[in-house]
Amino acid sequence: MESSQNIPLGSGENIPLTLVGQCFPRRRYTKSEEINHLAINHYRRTGNGITFENLLSSGLAHHKEQARTTIKHCIEKKVLFAPRKLRPQQYYPVCLRSEVMKRIMSKNIPIHPTGVSHSSASLSNHPESTIIQTLEGYILPLLPTAPLHIHNMHFKLTITPECYTELKLKQWKKNNGKYLSEIIGTTGITYVFYPNGTVEVYTESSNNPHKLESEYDRSRLLTFFGQIKDRLITFLADRHERIVPDMMEWELTQCDINKDIKVSDWLQFTGLKIHVRHLDHLFRVYIKSMGKDTVCRVEEIKHPKKNKPVIEAINEIFNPNEKLEKQMLEQGSQLSQILSIVTELL
């Protein structure tokens, strides 16, 4: 009688495929996930929603009744939605709801009206009045408690000019620059190299701005800065960090600070865009699609003082009162010294 005990395989023997499958099971997507991917890809390719026929042709449903049941389930699970009635009915991914609504409404807005219409309707029905009411009655009261974010950061640093001639990169749009594009997480990074050794770094994360609320957010942002630097070090093969300067020597030349308030998708119909300049500050207010949500973004464009290190500039953004507090402490120290001298003289 043969033994039924498990016999260990030798180090040189191959593991049977059946055992490999048991040890490393493949992830199986649920039908909802597959339909979500189908809807996203179909929308990106055609600009339309999926129908029953798309489920049948992709093999996600075997007959019409199953397709109806499956789509109904996806609507209940908030995977799909139908913004308007059509024949055949089209269904869009909820994760792109705001973008879909913007596209649909842009097709229905008259671009060049063919005349001036006189209406006896009250002013409260006009788009301008709707914008004002929304700003004053909804958005402004929520601004103080809305999270603060930062995006569109521009940095400047200097490396050895000799590096420029060795770079095999595409030409930048101006000033004989050469550029390199990278992606870190959800942020696009562009490094632009110039003949004099100047390097400008641009970040693009408007749809995924970095939060600026707590020390944890500060730590994450500083880690992100370190990733930007490490990518540059890797590209220049600067293993001993003799070419790329320390982050404290980088300058923050521009950034956008923003707060987002969730609003109705229909506010995209207003095309709200406002630019306000107050003293040295430039503010923008506009409606923006953020995946499934539509937000009203209140944004300030900042240009920190020249030659200010990036860390110092970020610290001031996190704590705008820190500089004032420091000045008050210095003045208090001077006042204490004066009082002590006067006391000695008396």
CATH number at residue 87: 1.10.10
The segment with the largest mean pLDDT, out of 30-34, 126-130, 339-343, is 30-34
**Signed CA dihedral, 304, 310, 316, 317: sign only:** positive
pLDDT at 321: 43
Cβ neighbours around 196 below 10 Å, total: 10
Residue 154 shares a structural domain with residue 261: yes
Domain assignment present for 19: no
Residue 73 shares a structural domain with residue 213: no
- Contact predicate 153/200, CB 8 Å: no
pLDDT confidence tier of residue 276, bands split at 50, 70 and 90: confident
132 has pLDDT over 90: no
Q: Which of 98, 125, 3 is nearest to 291 (CA)?
A: 98
Q: Which tokens in the block code for residue 295?
A: 């937000």
> Does residue 182 sit in helix, strand or coil?
strand
pLDDT at 15: 47
Domain assignment present for 248: yes
Residue 76 shares a structural domain with residue 198: no
DSSP state of 10: P
Domain span including residue 53:
31-95
Residue 226 shares a structural domain with residue 315: yes
166 has pLDDT over 80: yes
Q: What is the mean pLDDT of residues 322-327?
A: 44
Residue 165 shares a structural domain with residue 73: no
Per-residue pLDDT tens over the stretch 63-72: 888 888 888 8
Please list, in sequence order, all residues whose beta carbon lies within 8 angstroms of the beta carbon of residue 291, skipping any fewer than 6 positions away: 95, 96, 97, 98, 99, 207
Per-residue pLDDT tens over the stretch 170-198: 999 878 899 999 999 989 999 999 999 99
116 has pLDDT over 50: no
Q: What is the mean pLDDT of residues 226-243?
A: 93
Q: Is the peptide bond before 245 cis (omega within 30 degrees of 0)?
A: no
266 has pLDDT over 50: yes
Give the H/E segment covering residue 45: helix 31-46
pLDDT at 152: 93
Whole-prediction pTM:
0.65
Residue 207 shares a structural domain with residue 63: no
pLDDT at 107: 67
Q: What is the mean pLDDT of residues 85-113?
A: 75
Calculate what percentage of the chain has a pLDDT beyond 90. 26
- Contact predicate 68/50, CB 8 Å: no
Give the H/E segment covering residue 156: strand 149-158
Residues paired with residue 300 on neighbouring β-strands, in sequence order: 257, 283
Number of separate domains in the chain: 2
Q: What is the mean pLDDT of residues 291-299?
A: 87
Residue 56 shares a structural domain with residue 190: no
Residue 298 shares a structural domain with residue 181: yes
pLDDT at 235: 95
Distance CA 157, CA 176 (A): 17
pLDDT at 129: 65
Domain assignment present for 113: no
The residue among 1 and 76 whose pLDDT is bigger is 76
Residue 167 shares a structural domain with residue 300: yes
Query: How would you classify the pairing of strands 281-290 and 273-278?
Result: antiparallel
11 has pLDDT over 70: no
Residue 285 shares a structural domain with residue 150: yes
The letter for the amino acid at 337 is: Q
Domain assignment present for 130: no
Residue 190 shares a structural domain with residue 79: no
Domain assignment present for 211: yes
113 has pLDDT over 50: no
323 has pLDDT over 50: no
Domain assignment present for 122: no
Domain assignment present for 125: no
Residue 156 shares a structural domain with residue 84: no
Domain assignment present for 123: no
Distance CA 180, CA 232 (A): 9
Distance CA 38, CA 346 (A): 87
pLDDT at 150: 92
